[in-house]
Structure 1
Amino acid sequence: MSSFRRAFLSPQLLALSGLLALAACTRPGGTAGRTASALQPETFNQDWEFVKDVDTAVGPTFFARTADAARPWAAVGLPHTPRLEPVVTTARQWQGTCFYRRFFRVAAADTARRVAIRFEGAMQEADVYLNGRRLAHHQGGYLPFTVNLTPYLRPGAENCLLVKLNNQDNPAIPPGKPLKDLDFNYYGGLYRPVQLVVQDRLRLTDAVESGRVAGGGLLLRYENVSEQQATLHLQAEIRNDYRTDRAARLRTVVLDAGGKEVARALTDAPLLTPGGATLVRQTLPLTQPKLWTPTRPYLYRVVTEVLDDKGRALDRQELTTGVRTIRFAPEGFYLNGQKTRLRGTNRHQEYPYLAYALSDEMQYRDAWKIKEAGFNFVRCSHYPPSPAFLQACDELGLLVMNSIPGWQFFGAEDFQRNSLQNVRDMVRRDRNHPSIVLWEAALNETDMSKSFMDQAHQAVHEELPFPTDVYTCGWLDYAYDVFIPARQHAKAPDYWHKYNKQKPILLCEYGDWEYYAQNAGFNQTAYAGLKEAERTSRQLRGQGERALIQQALNFQEAHNDNFIGPAIGDANWLQFDYKRGYAPDIESSGIMDIYRLPKFAFYFYQSQYGPTPDAQGFGKPMVYVASYAQASTAPRQVRVFSNCAEVELQLNGKPLARQRPDQDRYSDHLAHPSFTFTVPPFSTGTLRAVAYLNGQAAAEHTRRTPGPAHHLQLRFDRSGRDLTADRQDAVFVYATVVDAQGTPVPDAATPIRFAVTAGDAELLGDNPVAAEAGIATLLLRAGRTPGTVQLTASAEGLPAATLSVRSVKP
């Protein structure tokens, strides 16, 4: 769920006036829809119908259930992508016009309340109709918008909600650049959840819908923060949509992680005139608060209710919050007064096949992997992420740079106006997340005008008019509070070592372009003789051990070099491989591939965290042998990553060496340098690394020379969240080709076929699919009924493998 979880009808109101009766009508073909509860707005994600590549002129037949051969509507759930996108193709992603519609009923009594529809993400130009009437037009695919349905509903009769979407190139809508020239994709569809919002007409507003500077919804800030005390200042906007004056009170309760009340406030609101809105402010003292940090991301719950003059709860909003302070200074970043280096990555939100259509659980799993890789910071490149991803960052302890849509494109007046609106809407939507420490109110790698930068910077500070804890950032050294260039924006060998302005500098990208397009790093002599394929960080898992070692070395060299000079932290490019509009191949500089499988570089970064586990168990002692232990006729070097003080490497049970970390030009600034061992020739063997802390074995990792392919092993990726039914949730399923001892065969490219043999689920992707580096991947999407799903994987000449995956209730 988003941190902006909304229980729009309180239990008291339900007892007073009954549940909203929303029942999806019979679909074409006679299947009955389900009844949706107003307490579960996500249930409006089911029972939609979809069609694309049809006549785009909206007419009466769009709103009728009668059969229409020209528009073959398909039953779909949300989040949804207009097309399952192939992973690698010579054709670009689908672009065009598509339609979604939803039939539903509203009881006559419920039209006395306010009924609205909220879209979390609709790519990228939307027209919304109800019963043939066009109610709204919205531009922008990454931020929410809300449409009031109340005056146009047919109580007691069937209603039809229709959404027309167009995701074709549009220079007025950020990112604005034509897809064929863009370094990422923006896909289509209703790709984030849709909520049916039902409220009393005396209600709390939504910050984005309200559109008021520093207003709307709930706004939290803290002051006087210490381990002994903190003061929470809460601002809420109450609106009266009744035709008469209304009195109201605001009640707020703060609960700790165990559900215990730790603060309460009850405040009278000014008398609200019809159509009027007012801000109510409350102050809630907290005693001995638990401070939010990446190592202990403690969250409180804030529950705010609007009460009528009889004390009955009419409306309610709930969110989670973390108590913390931040400060950026030229010499460092301070969290709760403690200097903290930002150790981060960039993330694109796309999945294979499903494009942008990720469930909330999938968003959480991505955040989990970033934390598992050892990072404490993530940049949302190059657009605002899902609220569910930000909520996961709050829960897991990831600091966030939130970003507006943009990349190498500065459009005309309408583009700039929409972009500045994106700045405000992004802040209004996300302002209460403790994880967010930077607002990238800049268009990435774009030659913006000074006027635009001034306005964008000012917009953030107008929306958050506080003397502390609010920081903008941009890639140009003008206007913004923090300077965030990429490493490659300066030249080797110094890069940003000699930056001497009194402004914090954070390297927001590194490790890719320097090696792809330049002779990167400070080891210019060595790099000068390398071919592009040998020096680049763009390495697929299937390109083999040498390629993956090169990528890991690039990231290690760059990360180590970033400690020289004034940079307060860095973010590598990037966590996951992704697809681009301007090239048919995968951009493969991720430390995990597009299927979320780790490359060697993943373990380098993991070794930079720990070895003392944090509150959630990340950062444990670890060791990783960056080798497939394949036969060699000559001595060779093997690199080992570990966060421990010493590592012993054994070959076939015999110690080769026990040593401390490397001391070289790639390691001299790292918290945990890698270990390099010389291994003698062997035809088959077992490499076993044992890591030591305080003289005691703390972790180990074993690699064996693979034999011939013998059988398959099946597993799925949970990453902190079970496969969840009735949510369009999907998990990666991996079939690994292994030898008789269970050792993966890294050069296997075996075609593998998957099948669901029992349970409510479906497979998404190419099937059969060829293994890459010994592993074939598909997505398993849960259906609407929870339970056990049985899978099989088979390949010619190998026995089939089976796997049980349980999907759970939402």
Structure 2
Amino acid sequence: MRSKLHRVRMVLWSMLLWSVASYAQVRIDMDHDWRFRTDAADAGLAAGWSAATPAETRLVDVPHTWNIGEDDDYEGVAWYFKSFTAPASMLASHVELHFGATFYRSRVWVNGVEVGGHEGGHTAYALDIGKQLRAGENLIAVRLDNLPGEATIPGYAMRQAGSGSVWYDWWHYGGIVRDVWLTVSDHALIRRQRITSKLGGDAASVSSDVFVENVDGGDSRYSVTASIVDPDGKAVAQAQRDVTASAGQPVAVTLAVNLPHPQLWNVGDARLYQWVTQLHAADGTVLDSRSESFGLRDIVIRDRRLYVNGKPVRLSGVSRHEDSPWEGLAESTGTIRRDWSDMAALHTTLTRPVHYPQNDAVLDFADRHGILLIPEIPVWQFSEAQLKNPKLLALAKAMMREMIEQDGNHASIFAWSVCNESDASMPGGRAYVDAMASLIREIDPGRYVTFADADISIKPWKEAPVMHDVDFIMANAYFGSWSGSGSDVEPWLDFVDRTYPDKMVIISEFGYPGVFSHDSASADKARSENLLQQMDAIQRRSFIAGAIFWTYQDYKSHRNLWAGQTEGYVDHGLVDENRQRRPSYAIYEARNEPLSVATQWEVDAGGLRGFKATVSGYPATHLPSYSMQNYVAHWRAIDDRGHELAHGDEVLRDLAQPVHIEGAWPAAGKGAAVHLLVDIIRPDGVRAGGVASDYHPLNIGSAHFLPNKDEQP
């Protein structure tokens, strides 16, 4: 009954849309009421499943992965089916079926006719299905195969062949793991737009390459307009160009504007503009529109340092797998926002998010909160033979191109990574890195290229020529576990400094895996000690621009598990798989605060009357350190009965120099105790640091929460 009512609502909604908007592109949600079943014998195609839903299917909504519950460890073929009703008016339009991501290899049929497919589990694709649609009931059938091989990405980790296991080091989730939708267009559509910007003086030049596609039967002339909205919601510029497109052909047109006095996107202070493009028919009718945010910022590597808007930064953060016991890879926006809000509370300003292209919600969060990203395609632990395989190189290039074209407008992205812990130092691996770098510099010349390497930290340390080919070095360095003893980090860092004297370095992974200890509790104690020791050593080397801790949460795998386990959650996170915080969470949070707060009580004969505080950002030698403007100090004083004595807010215009604040209240009495909270809030509302202090006449000046303070009576 639910499915039938849903179909009735969909057809009524579709008819309404066509009656009020016969030209502008329409998007129709297709996430609900799918049927699913596995196909272990791979017999579904022969049995006619591409044209008819078989028996014994389960009702699911997408995003969905089958690797939760009864099909937890299932690898192979599975099918998804969806029936929907199309009004007759839809048949005259251009209709595409969009998948946000399907893992891993897909084939798609509409009403028994194959309309296309895709390889790769983390990027979006669209299929033209207009010719296969019919008025009334229609059936979509999707066949998916999540079985890895030596030439899939991710695939068998052949560098690990000697260990007897070639599983990649995260779970092999299969399914329709992101949203599905239809778009319905008439005459022409905007396929995508590529926004670029350049700062100069007190102005910014911004342009957008708009890719228009004519879906009509004849040549047509169109008008493309753009409106740019500043971070305050004010329209600040417009542009317009005419374009002619042949029938069924794409064409690109460039619109450009100049923006005086731009508001800059910055680390921890993300100011976003909006670029709104409209495609018009000759009579002025709006055929399609696209709105995307962008940030104006200047990110430069110079003299082995990273500069954002002309100021040196040293950044830190944590990585995170798209994984949880309740959703796996098929994450909801709620889970993503919850986790990334927690990562922001951990002062994350830089991360290589994980080994594969990210959900739009991840990139949008990073854009809005001023977090720099280095996205990567999942070429993990590949051997030289794999990297030399022309088929794999072609797939890697296609995957990288899809990721860049899909995500390239995000202000948070400053570099791309082409592989992780693979045989890049071998001749065939170096050729792979160079080929991928050449592609990226061709299609996205404004961003840096790198890869994450583990060989660099494994003894005997030796120079790798491929490191000179990339824009900066990313090193996975697990001193205290896989890379050697914790004390080895100091001589290793000196080796890197001598060997690559012109290269900036980011520590792309460091941390402590639980399997090096007896149990989870002792592992987390070692993890806390390790992260402090490693960060202190890293901080002493100015050529290291950032350090990324592995990892935020425990994640599911067949590798790096406790003795006797063949599957489970890798004990590696500051939180466990259920997001329960370990003691190391608080240690990491305190170590990575970008500022300090020191308080001093103001006492006279009548008792405690107030406080003074000094808020200081850290110098450029500290890790982390970055520019901080327009933060807000919020303080609150509470007496021993829980009553508020006073509170206040003060804008901290620039923390490049220490800023002094103070607060006062009527004397609380000689014997009164007072609890003072001082929180420093970033412009995006995230807490950057602070202090909590307790005053009591018998125990004056106790304080807690933060190590950076100087309490005095």
Equivalent residue for 1:799? none
Partner residue in 1 for 2:45: 58
1:76: how far off?
1.3
Cα distance, 1:137 vs. partner? 2.6
Corresponding residue number in structure 2 for 1:43: 29
The answer (yes or no) to whether the contact 2:98–2:124 under 8 Å persists in 1 is yes
Give 1:64-143 correspondences, 5 Å limit: 68=54, 71-85=55-69, 93-143=73-123
Tell me which amino acid in the other structure corresponds to 1:604.
Answer: I
In structure 1, the residue matched to 2:654 is none
Question: SS of the counterpart of 2:307?
Answer: strand
Q: What displacement does 1:591 show? A: 1.2
State the AA in 2 paired with 1:237: F
Alignment match of 1:323 (pick from 296, 302, 317): 296
Could you tell me which residue of structure 1 aligns to residue 130 of structure 2? 150
Which among 190, 196, 201 is matched to residue 187 of structure 2? 201
Cα distance change, pair 254–693 in 1 and its aligned pair in 2 (3 A): same
Aligned length: 573
Q: 2:208 aligns with which of 218, 231, 234?
A: 234
Superposition map of 1:66-465 within 5 A: 68=54, 71-85=55-69, 93-154=73-134, 156-177=135-156, 181-205=167-191, 217-225=192-200, 228-269=202-243, 271-410=244-383, 411=386, 412-447=389-424, 449-465=429-445
Q: Equivalents in 1 of 2:233, 2:524: separation in Å?
A: 47
User: Counterpart of 1:486?
Assistant: 476
C-alpha distance in structure 2 between counterparts of 1:76 and 1:121, whole Å: 16
Number of the residue aligned with 2:704: 689
Equivalent residue number for residue 721 of structure 1: none
Q: Counterpart of 1:549 in structure 2: which amino acid?
A: K
1:330–1:505 CA contact under 8 A, matched in 2: no
Distance 2:329 2:154 in 1: 16
Q: What RMSD over aligned residues (CA atoms) do the two structures have, in Å? A: 3.5
* In 2: Cα distance, 1:672 partner to 1:259 partner: 29
Contact 1:219 1:431 in 2 (8 A): yes
Deviation at 1:644, TM superposition (A): 13
Structure 2 SS opposite 1:266: strand
What percent of counterpart residues are identical? Answer: 22
Whole-angstrom distance in 2 between the partners of 1:486 and 1:693: 30
Equivalent residue in structure 1 for 2:526, among 540, 543, 550: 550
SS at structure 1 position matched to 2:252:
strand
Q: CA deviation at 1:560?
A: 1.0
Q: Which residue of 2 aligns with 1:649?
A: none
The answer to which of 234-243 and 42-51 deviates more is 42-51
In structure 2, what is the equivalent of residue 597 of structure 1? 580
Equivalent position of 1:728 in the other structure: none
Cα distance in 2 for partners of 1:302, 1:573 equals 35
Change (3 A) 1:95 1:383: same
TM-score scaled by length of structure 1? 0.65
Deviation by residue 1:725-764 (Cα, 9 ceiling, x = unmatched): xxxxxxxxxxxxxxxxxxxxxxxxxxxxxxxxxxxxxxxx
Deviation at 1:401, TM superposition (A): 0.8
Q: Report the Cα offset of residue 353 of structure 1.
A: 3.5
Structure 1 counterpart of 2:585, one-letter code: F
| Structure-2 change in CA distance of 1:93 and 1:578 (3 Å) | same
Query: Structure 1's 330 and 404: CA in aligned 2 closer, same or farther, altered over 3 A?
Result: farther
Tell me, in whole angstroms, the C-alpha distance in 2 between the residues paired with 1:393 and 1:316: 24
Cα deviation per residue 1:128-150 (whole Å; 9 max; x = unaligned)? 00100111132111111111111
Equivalence for 1:505: 505
Q: Distance in 2 between matches of 1:181 and 1:165?
A: 19
Moved more, 360-369 or 337-346: 360-369
Q: Secondary structure at the match of 1:428?
A: helix
Q: 2:352 aligns to what SS in structure 1?
A: strand
Matched-pair contact (CA < 8 Å) for 2:337–2:365:
yes
Cα distance in 2 between the residues matched to 1:302 and 1:357: 30
Question: What is the alpha-carbon distance in structure 2 between the residues aligned to residue 175 and residue 260 of structure 1?
Answer: 44
Return the letter of the residue paired with 1:76.
V
CA 1:225–1:164 in structure 2 vs 1: closer, same or farther (change >3 Å)?
Answer: farther
**Aligned residue runs from structure 1 range 656-735, under 5 A:** 689=704
Question: Does structure 2 conserve the Cα–Cα contact (< 8 Å) formed by 1:299 and 1:320?
Answer: yes
Contact 1:118 1:146 in 2 (8 A): yes
**Pairwise CA distance, 1:400:** 0.5
Q: Distance in 1 between matches of 2:228 and 2:348?
A: 30
1:334–1:131 CA distance, 2 compared to 1 (3 A) = same
**What is the SS of the residue equivalent to 2:517?**
helix
Question: Following TM superposition, by how much is the alpha carbon of 1:324 offset from its aligned partner in structure 2, in angstroms?
Answer: 0.8
2: CA distance, partners of 1:620 / 1:94: 52
Compared CA separation, residues 564 and 98, structure 1 to 2 (3 A): same
Q: What is the deviation of 1:62? A: 3.0
Cα separation, partners in 2 of 1:340 and 1:60, compared to 1, 3 Å: same
State how far apart, in whole Å, the 1-side matches of 2:200 and 2:30 are: 40
Cα 1:31–1:203 change in 2 (3 A) is: closer
CA positional deviation for 1:181: 2.6
Instruction: Say which SS state the counterpart of residue 336 (structure 2) adopts.
Output: helix
* 1:496-575 paired onto structure 2 within 5 Å: 496-498=493-495, 499-500=497-498, 501=500, 502-512=502-512, 532-533=516-517, 540=520, 543=521, 547-565=523-541, 566-575=543-552
Q: C-alpha separation between the residues in 1 aligned to 2:277 and 2:140?
A: 31
Segment of structure 1 superposing worse, 689-698 or 396-405? 689-698
SS in 2 for 1:441: strand
Tell me if structure 2 keeps the 8 A contact 1:45–1:193. yes
Q: Secondary structure at the match of 2:139?
A: strand
CA distance in 2, matches of 1:93, 1:617: 48
Runs (5+) with no aligned partner, structure 1: 1-24, 206-216, 517-531, 623-642, 646-652, 656-670, 675-686, 699-810
Q: CA deviation at 1:267?
A: 1.2
1:245 and 1:82, CA in 2 relative to 1: closer, same or farther beyond 3 A?
Answer: same
The verdict on how the C-alpha distance between 1:697 and 1:32 changes in structure 2, with shifts beyond 3 A counting, is: farther
**Are the aligned partners of 2:489 and 2:537 in contact in 1 as well (CA < 8 Å)?**
no
8 Å CA contact retained: 1:220, 1:232: yes
Distance 2:507 2:319 in 1: 11
1:600–1:620 CA distance, 2 compared to 1 (3 A): farther
Instruction: Identify if the C-alpha distance between structure 1 residues 225 and 605 changes in structure 2 by more than 3 Å, giving closer, same or farther.
Output: farther
Which one has the bigger helix percentage? Answer: 2
AA aligned to 1:74 is R
